[in-house]
Amino acid sequence: MSDMSVTSAPSGTASFLRRALRNRSFMVGLVITLFVAAIALLSFVWTPYDITQLPVSERMKPPSATHWFGTDHFGRDILSMIMIGARNSIAVALVAVGIGMGIGVPLGTIAAARGGWLDETVMRFNDIIFAFPALLSAIMITAIFGPGAVNAIVAIGIFNIPVFARVARAGALALWPREFVMAARVAGKGAARITVEHILPNIVSLLLVQGTIQFALGILAEAGLSYVGLGAQPPMPSWGRMLFDAQTRMIVAPYLALFPGLAIVITVLGLNLLGDGLRDLLDPRLNRER
Amino acid sequence: MTRYVLRRLAIGILTLVFASAVVFFVMEILPGDPARLMLGLNATEDAISALRQQMGLDQPVFVRYLAWIGGLLVGDFGRSYTYSVPVLELVTERAAVSLPLAFLSLILLTVIAIPVGLFAAARRGRAADAIVMGLSQMGVAIPNFWFALLLVYFFAVWLRWVPSGGFPGWQSGLWPGVKALIMPAVALALPQAAILARVTRGALIDVLGEDYIRTARAKGLPRNQVLWRHALRNALIPVLTILGLQFAFLIAGTIIIENVFYLPGLGRLIFQAITQRDLIVVESVVMLLVASVILVNLVVDLSYAIVDPRLRGAR
């Protein structure tokens, strides 16, 4: 039952695709997410304007046919900056999810496999990290190494560790008493081998759903960090930094604050819808949990 | 019951000790010597080592950690490197803005989210539920500081109902102070309320499927009484868990939101301290915030025992 993962049988794949196409929140989320990713990739080869140029004559122009989203106080095209900012947001959030999974999942699965004092230690370690919101970690890291995008990645990544450790542990604990795991133990497989061969494949869907949620949270956290100056540094455009710059100019140019904010909302909304949809698709039993 | 409470207390204290060690040792591996920093570039080596001795920086790290912890416990946070005033003075003055803001938003969050979650759960699958869920999906995606900027633009710049920021200070009275915190608190609370409303709805829907709810309805209890008394109480555990986690977000959020509203709170203090490399201030503020997060989660853990009698014997 729980081995109905994405990669089961060809017929399973076909029925999965059929269900995916019918799942509205999955499809809407997927389209938005792919759109944002495509914009970020496109920005590597093309943006409407070159944002390293600072044309004085184009400063603070409201949205128009030539500059769809207007220009900022340096005359830079807002649309181009948002496109490049998408790269930064996605990169930071993605690597932070990678850090969280890379460390959290082994911790969680080991804790579940061994139990006892090791489990207790991992859980208490989680408690400690949970006491540090990403912003506080970022503040400490910045106080030491100075501001930069890497700090944001590390701070958000650290915050993700206990999240994935808990999800992996809970998922693994539910699997250990199951018959197919028992069978593997009877067959003489060790805890490590069972974890890799039987536990991990069966918690992939849980991790995927959580990964999508953490990705969305990472985008929000990165925006907050760069808004207070603890994330990407100028001239690298980032959505949070653009909102910071917009704040003091809001009376004359409210559009400066509108578009970067919308970019964040749309991206996060897309990822959340994708996560909700994935949850429904990958494990119908999970529906009732939220 | 006692065992559960004692165990939770022990875990809370242990977490606090380890978290304080993390804060202290992370700040200790810093490059740069505070004594050298305070005296500036032209200071002689003698003067620097004299100040190092005076500040206790020549002691072994572990001794300084204990001294720091001991100081925190009796309210001696040390002296600010840049202002040369006791850190406690700086921190209490700023905390008088940040902590009321955090608690005000916690109250708003609860007062908004739980009734909305109840409302949606009671009308599950109907239009009202769909609208509430759609709005909360939006709320989850909105960064609180952007929402704050929109509020400032709408209410301060456009309608001119309220000033766009600043804080009159508590000495000018309770109401002016609270008034200055309302908009920041709303900005902080609403996005989090969207999350909590979803959790409340989900937990209630689970509970509403249980047999004892049907029994309660079958024996003729009014719908609302079943909802508020029987269902809500049983759905409270996941709600409380999320609420505890959200307090950490609110604490972090105040630091960011203060920048939008130019509030003289801990957030602005900590950012100033970072640029001035006033590390003892950074250390103290981070420790204070981490401690309040741990404390609130401890309270949440303990309140499980009140909400769910079954837990009293457990674990």
Q: Is the CB of A164 inside 8 Å of chain B's CB atoms? A: no
Nearest residue in chain A measured CA to CA from B148 = A247
How close A12 gets to chain B, by Cα (Å)?
29
How close A271 gets to chain B, by Cα (Å)?
9
Same domain, B50 and B103: no
Q: Which ranges constitute the DSSP H helices of B123-173?
A: 127-141, 144-151
Query: In this predicted structure, what is the pLDDT of residue B163?
Result: 78
Query: In this predicted structure, what is the pLDDT of residue A287?
Result: 45
Same domain, B137 and B69: no
A246 contacts in chain B (CB < 8 Å)? 149
Within-domain flag for B161? yes
pLDDT over 90 at B151, yes or no: yes
**Residue A278 or residue B165, greater confidence:** A278
Whether residue A127 contacts residue A185, with contact meaning beta carbons closer than 8 Å, is answered with no
Report how far residue B302's alpha carbon sits from residue A166's, in angstroms, rounded to the nearest whole number. 20
Closest CA to A23 of A207, A290, A284, A285: A284
How does residue A272 score in pLDDT terms, banded at 50, 70 and 90? very high
Measured in degrees and rounded to the nearest 5, phi and psi for residue B47 equal -60, -40
Report how far apart the first and last C-alpha atoms of chain B are (Å, whole number): 10
For the ranges A177-191, A261-275, B260-274, B301-315, the one whose mean pLDDT is highest: A261-275
How does residue B147 score in pLDDT terms, banded at 50, 70 and 90? very high
Within-domain flag for B299? yes
**Residue A11 or residue B263, greater confidence:** B263
Q: Is the CB of A214 inside 8 Å of chain B's CB atoms? A: no
Point out which residues pair with B90 in neighbouring strands. Answer: none
pLDDT over 70 at A75, yes or no: yes
Provide the domain count of chain B.
Answer: 2
Q: What is the mean pLDDT of chain B?
A: 85
A224 contacts in chain B (CB < 8 Å)? 143-145, 252, 256
Same domain, B169 and B36: no
Show the tokens assigned to A162: 């206990």
Report how far residue B193's alpha carbon sits from residue B157's, in angstroms, rounded to the nearest whole number. 26
Of A239-243, A254-258, B149-153, B307-311, the poorest mean pLDDT is in B307-311
How close A253 gets to chain B, by Cα (Å)?
11
Whether residue B289 contacts residue B23, with contact meaning beta carbons closer than 8 Å, is answered with no
Within-domain flag for B237? yes
Asked whether the beta carbons of residue B152 and residue A289 sit closer than 8 angstroms, the reply is no
Same domain, B8 and B144: no
Tokens 């250390």 correspond to: B283
Query: In this predicted structure, what is the pLDDT of residue A286?
Result: 47
**Residue B43 or residue A194, greater confidence:** A194
Q: Is the CB of A133 inside 8 Å of chain B's CB atoms? A: yes
How does residue B33 score in pLDDT terms, banded at 50, 70 and 90? low
Nearest residue in chain B measured CA to CA from A251 = B157
Q: Write out the DSSP string of A3-42.
A: T--TTS-HHHHHHHHHHHHH-HHHHHHHHHHHHHHHHHHH
Asked whether the beta carbons of residue B286 and residue A136 sit closer than 8 angstroms, the reply is yes
Same domain, B179 and B205: yes
pLDDT, tens digit, for every residue of B65-103? 888 888 888 888 888 877 788 889 989 999 999 989 999
Report how far residue B288's alpha carbon sits from residue B143's, in angstroms, rounded to the nearest whole number. 25
How close B142 gets to chain A, by Cα (Å)?
5
Query: In this predicted structure, what is the pLDDT of residue A1?
Result: 42
- Report A:236-255 residues touching B (Cβ under 8 A): 240, 243-244, 246-247, 250-251, 254
Q: What angle do CA A278, A282, A284 make, to 5 degrees?
A: 105
Predicted TM-score of the model (pTM)? 0.87
**Residue B223: which residues within 8 A CB-CB, separation 6 or more?**
B122, B217
Report how far residue B120's alpha carbon sits from residue B29's, in angstroms, rounded to the nearest whole number. 51
Show the tokens assigned to B248: 């950490």
Q: Write out the DSSP string of A99-110.
A: HHHHHHHHHHHH
Query: In this predicted structure, what is the pLDDT of residue B108?
Result: 95
Same domain, B103 and B142: yes
Within-domain flag for B81? no
Show the tokens assigned to B80: 């600010």
Within-domain flag for B80? no
Report how far residue A12's alpha carbon sits from residue A105's, in angstroms, rounded to the nearest whole number. 27
How many Cβ contacts (< 8 angstroms) between chains A and B? 136
Range of the domain at B196: 87-311
Within-domain flag for B82? no
Write down how long chain A is: 290
A240 contacts in chain B (CB < 8 Å)? 143
Asked whether the beta carbons of residue B149 and residue A250 sit closer than 8 angstroms, the reply is yes
Disruptive mutation site among B274, B292, B294, B296 for chain A (greatest number of A CBs within 10 Å): B274
Query: In this predicted structure, what is the pLDDT of residue A38?
Result: 96
Of A93-102, B140-149, B288-297, the poorest mean pLDDT is in B288-297
How does residue A241 score in pLDDT terms, banded at 50, 70 and 90? very high
Query: In this predicted structure, what is the pLDDT of residue B312?
Result: 59
Within-domain flag for B45? yes
Same domain, B118 and B245: yes
Within-domain flag for B247? yes
Nearest by CB to residue A124, choosing from B15, B153, B255, is B15
Average confidence (pLDDT) over B225-235: 83
**ipTM for the predicted complex:** 0.86
Same domain, B21 and B102: no
Q: What is the mean pLDDT of chain A?
A: 87
Report how far residue B100's alpha carbon sits from residue B250's, in angstroms, rounded to the nearest whole number. 11
Of A163-172, B159-168, B251-260, the poorest mean pLDDT is in B159-168
pLDDT over 80 at B122, yes or no: yes
Query: In this predicted structure, what is the pLDDT of residue B315?
Result: 45
- Report A:256-285 residues touching B (Cβ under 8 A): 257, 261, 264-266, 268-269, 272-273
Q: For residues B122-131, b (16+ Cβ closer than 10 Å) or e, as one string?
A: beeeeeebee
How close A187 gets to chain B, by Cα (Å)?
33
How close B47 gets to chain A, by Cα (Å)?
25
Q: For residues A173-190, b (16+ Cβ closer than 10 Å) or e, as one string?
A: bebbeeeebeebeeeebe
Point out which residues pair with B86 in neighbouring strands. Answer: B79
pLDDT over 80 at B58, yes or no: no
**Residue A258 or residue B217, greater confidence:** A258
Whichever domain contains B152, its CATH number is 1.10.3720.10
Nearest by CB to residue A264, choosing from B138, B146, B202, is B146
Asked whether the beta carbons of residue A139 and residue B141 sit closer than 8 angstroms, the reply is no
Asked whether the beta carbons of residue B274 and residue A133 sit closer than 8 angstroms, the reply is no
Query: In this predicted structure, what is the pLDDT of residue B205?
Result: 87
Out of 1.10.3720.10, 3.40.50.300, 3.40.640.10, 3.40.50.10470, the CATH code matching A88-282 is: 1.10.3720.10
pLDDT, tens digit, for every residue of A154-213? 999 999 999 999 999 999 998 988 889 889 988 888 888 999 889 999 899 889 999 999
Query: In this predicted structure, what is the pLDDT of residue A9?
Result: 47
Same domain, B44 and B182: no
Closest CA to B208 of B182, B188, B234: B234
Report how far residue A267's alpha carbon sits from residue B27's, in angstroms, rounded to the nearest whole number. 35
Same domain, B104 and B57: no
Nearest residue in chain B measured CA to CA from A250 = B153
pLDDT, tens digit, for every residue of A89-135? 999 999 999 999 999 999 999 999 988 899 999 988 888 888 888 88
Query: In this predicted structure, what is the pLDDT of residue A224?
Result: 92
Query: In this predicted structure, what is the pLDDT of residue B272?
Result: 87
Same domain, B277 and B216: yes
Could you tell me the residue ranges of all domains in chain A? 88-282
Q: Please give the biggest Cα pair distance in chain B.
A: 86
Same domain, B46 and B172: no
Point out which residues pair with A77 in neighbouring strands. Answer: A71
